Amino acid sequence: MATPQKTRPDALTLEVVDLIGTVVARYHEECDDAAAEHALTGAQARLLSLLSLEPLPMRRLAQKLKCEPSNVTGIVDRLESRGLVERRPDPGDRRVKLAAVTDEGRRVARSLRESLHFAREPLVGLSRDERLALRDLLLRMLGTPS
């Protein structure tokens, strides 16, 4: 059985891939800078942002952050010592501990989000229809229905 031949990407595709890489790199740089302003590491800021949406068990946090549960335990310990996160029993299974953001942690997470100017400001120059089209294209690239 013959293997299908791979086609080389065209110049436009390569240019778009490079632009996506540049956007991602600038976004991560801005996230790290915002985290540093709060004396947080990038991983601590990402975990805090996740927990600002909902309390999560450690195992689920590890999956979302794509790291080992023991790493998450250390990150939660450091955030807990600063009063940004707390551990609480899961109401559905008291054997499971949930990490949850405190009021101060929620304030810091909001400040982190609000300081991401690079991620927001260029979008202001786009019309609503352009932002919707961009959102729909990104969702399609991710294989997520819009």
Cβ pair 60, 93 in contact under 8 A: no
**Segment 87-125, tens digit of pLDDT:** 999 888 888 889 999 999 999 999 999 888 877 788 888
Cβ pair 62, 71 in contact under 8 A: yes
- Give the chain's domains with CATH numbers: 20-115 (1.10.10.10)
Give how far the C-alpha of residue 93 lies from the chain's centroid of Cα atoms, to the nearest Å.
27
Tens of pLDDT along the chain (146 residues)?
Answer: 555 567 888 999 999 999 999 988 988 899 899 999 999 999 999 999 999 999 999 999 999 999 998 999 999 999 999 999 999 998 888 888 899 999 999 999 999 998 888 777 888 889 999 999 999 999 999 888 76
DSSP 143: T
